[in-house]
Amino acid sequence: MSIEVKLPELGESVTEGTVTRWLKAVGERVEIDEPLLEVSTDKVDTEVPSLVAGYVIQLLAAEDDVVAVGATLAVIGDSADEAAAPAAPEAPAAPVVDTPVALPEPAAPAAAAAAPAASGSGTPVVLPELGESVTEGTVTRWLKAVGDTIEVDEPLLEVSTDKVDTEVPSPVAGTVQQILVAEDETVAVGATLAIVGDGAVAPAPVAPTSAPVAPTSAPTASAPAATPAASAPAAPVPAAAPVAEPAAAATEAYVTPIVRKLAADNGVDLATVNGTGIGGRVRREDVLAAAAALAATAPAPSAAPSATIAKPEPSPLRGTTVPFTRLRKAIASATVNSLQTQAQLTTVVEVDITNIAALRSRKKDEFLEKTGQKLSFMSFFAYAAVELLQQYPIINASVSDNQIVYHPTENLSIAVDTERGLYAPVIKDAGSLTIAGYSEKIAELAARTRDNKLTPDDMTGGTFTLTNTGSRGALFDTPIVSMPQSAILGTGTVVRRPAVVKADGGEAIAVRSMVYLALSYDHRIIDGADAARYLSALKARLEAADFESALGI
């Protein structure tokens, strides 16, 4: 008996899709729910799984063909002997991969085959719902291996979506009996990821997989590649006594090239650093702390050497090719879509914040004592920017079906730079906060972002974005609006420099604290005059520096 595999519905208003890559060839075996091909639409790229287990008899669409929803893509039968010659349109015997970025990824059954079988009953761990409109996620890292023990709510794996990276905890305590999804594999919400139970784990034979693995070409139907599925973490091997070498190797596995270079520059041995990131990952902060500890214990030099400038070491990424991460794909898609949809431009003003700097100097010690937070310029910028949004609601509006939606609250997205990429978690109802409230919220969200602890709710609902482009010394830039928002405010670095000021009825030159504020906005609903009015009001509010009653201490 043969079963047809059709192009499924891929979302509202999606009527067709393009076959981008076949993951199986005629004659190859496919399991239930194993990805058969990749399809691209104007809204999403996804995999189409097989509905049954069997052998690929026919491929009825070629790569790059555009097919309608409901069209037959392939035929699956009970025996490889039923396989016919490729039907028109001609389908490739196997996908040809000419770049490491496009390598086919191991399928879930292959990963499962490598895992030992459980001798007792177990509880399935499924991919939970991760936010509105999120239908799938990518397994980025397993934090436990088959045979490891795990507690209730202890993180089992990390999952990445186009909105958030998060951990999936175990719903029960027990032993990891099976891992059913490989790292870097994308699965639907509700799919079973692993089995956790209280039974012993018995070794099972390793089954081969026919997923293509060669970096330059895929196996043909007549000679499928058979390689053990090593994507799933293997069960730990008992040792007579713990040794240092495996621990060091484990540390290395969690170190990014940037952190590795930072450690080398500071003379830090990564094997001696205890990582505070997820799963023991060594973070930039860990290396800096270790470097500071080394500096504190290092003996003072007997004689100061002559001043020399060390030649910078080249980045380990130089000359390499790496694939887009899921987050980078999402950022790329969102920014290009924003620029193609909105009529964006940027208006810039220069602001003298010398009075804020003076207030900050007077109050920073008291502020730290009472709130536990540093009094930063960012908190003043956030407070004033949101306060002025209430007077100029068009800056806080959005476009929906040729209508302007004026939002009832100001939900402030804060851009946070991490090793994984750029995130913008949201401070809900920001207009109700004091400056102390902003300091606490910004610090808390930034910490959870960098520690990969954000929830889907943290990433949704923003109506206006604030990005501190001056944190790395930039005077200003032209930030891209994050749709469906209509505006984003970039704050440049604060610079002490000479400026003309009014003094004794005349003018004088004095050293002042100056900053550029750049507002990018959607010209479809925000005119240049609207932007100028908002920025002029913001400039006046900041230069007056009347914030003592708003400090919240």
CA atoms of 467 and 414, how far apart (whole Å):
6
CA 509 to CA 501: how far, in whole Å?
6
Catalytic residue among 64, 429, 527, 546: 527
Cα 123 to Cα 121: distance, rounded to the nearest angstrom: 7
Contacts of 265 (CB under 8 A, 6+ apart): 313
Specify the amino acid at residue 441: K
448, two tokens = 């959870």
Task: Check if 407 is active-site.
Answer: no
Which residue in 401, 543, 422, 434 sits closest to 479, CA to CA?
422
Encode burial over 284-316: b for 16+ CB neighbours within 10 A, e otherwise. Answer: bebbeebbeeeeeeeeeeeeeeeeeeeeeeeee
| Residue 444, H or E segment | helix 435-450
Q: Tell me if residue 295 falls in helix, strand or coil.
A: helix
Residue 475: which residues within 8 A CB-CB, separation 6 or more? 492, 493, 495, 516
The rounded distance, in Å, linking the Cα atoms of 326 and 160 is 7
Cα separation, 341 vs 524, in Å, equals 10
Q: Say whether 523 is catalytic.
A: yes
Of these residues, 33, 523, 530, 546, which one is catalytic? 523
CB 143 within 8 A of CB 155: yes
Give the orientation angle of helix 284-297 with respect to helix 257-265, to 10 degrees: 10
Name residue, tokens 């001696």. Answer: 272
Burial category of 423 from C-beta neighbours within 10 Å (exposed 0-12, middle 13-18, buried 19 and up)? buried
Helix (H, G, I), strand (E, B) or coil at 288: helix
Long-range contacts from 223-227, C-beta under 8 angstroms, 24+ separation: 224/25, 224/27, 224/28
Residue 402: CB atoms within 10 A of its CB come to 6
Beta-carbon contacts of 402 under 8 Å, excluding residues fewer than 6 positions away, are none
H or E segment and range at residue 426? strand 426-427
CA distance linking residue 33 with residue 37, whole number of Å:
11
Q: Give the catalytic positions in this structure.
A: 523, 527
